[in-house]
Amino acid sequence: MSRIGNKIIPIAEGLKVEIKENYIDIKGAKGEDKVYFDASLIGVKIEDGHVVVTRVNDEKHTKQLHGTTRALINNAMIGCHEGFTKTLQIVGIGYRAEMRGEDVVLYIGHVKPTIVKPLEGVKISVVESKSKDITCTITVTGNDKFRVGQTAALIHDAKRPEPYLGKGIRYVGEYILRKEGKRAGSGK
């Protein structure tokens, strides 16, 4: 029994949801999205202001598609209504970021600056920070959860935080396992 697949999805105020042959079309304030599904295995219908996802049989592959399809539809509805946001922080002396058109340019200790291009439908903004530790904050927004996460991951992977001083690019709320380092004159 699929716990996620059996949950009904409430249609938020202001969303327009239409079901076609093998896809569901969602339009909202933040944009529009289409989610394709296998109509021979998965059934999608609208009942009383909710989207209900059902499956034809109980085979393993169909059960897997059931939960996945429901999650994709739910994420598309949240993205078109509210949008998704990921926030990153740059920590380190001399590390900084700036916008160049749609792209973000990262100065993170390499010989040449690193340029990260956002995926389609994703916007990046950079705000300089007045904090002692954090040099700037990068915000990635969009209506597609995958594209927002992938763009944020490209920025994060440019310079992952190192464990000794914690310098690098980190997600807000990310825990960095810190190491002690060498002790000078320990006598051993």
12-21, 34-43, 121-130, 175-184: segment of lowest average pLDDT = 175-184
Question: pLDDT tens across 10-56, in order?
Answer: 999 999 999 998 999 999 999 999 999 998 999 999 999 999 999 99
Question: 0.85 exceeded by the pTM?
Answer: yes
Q: Using CA atoms of 20, 23, 26, 32 in order, give the dihedral in degrees to the nearest 10.
A: -120
Question: How are the residues of the chain apportioned to helix, strand and coil, as percentages rounded to the nearest 5?
Answer: 20, 40, 45
Q: Kindly give the residue spans of alpha helices, DSSP state H, lying in 45-101.
A: 60-81
Instruction: Name which of 146, 17, 184, 166 is nearest 93 in CA terms.
Output: 166
Question: pLDDT tens across 80-120, in order?
Answer: 999 999 999 999 988 999 999 999 999 999 999 999 999 99
Per the CB < 8 A criterion, the answer to whether 143 and 79 are in contact is yes
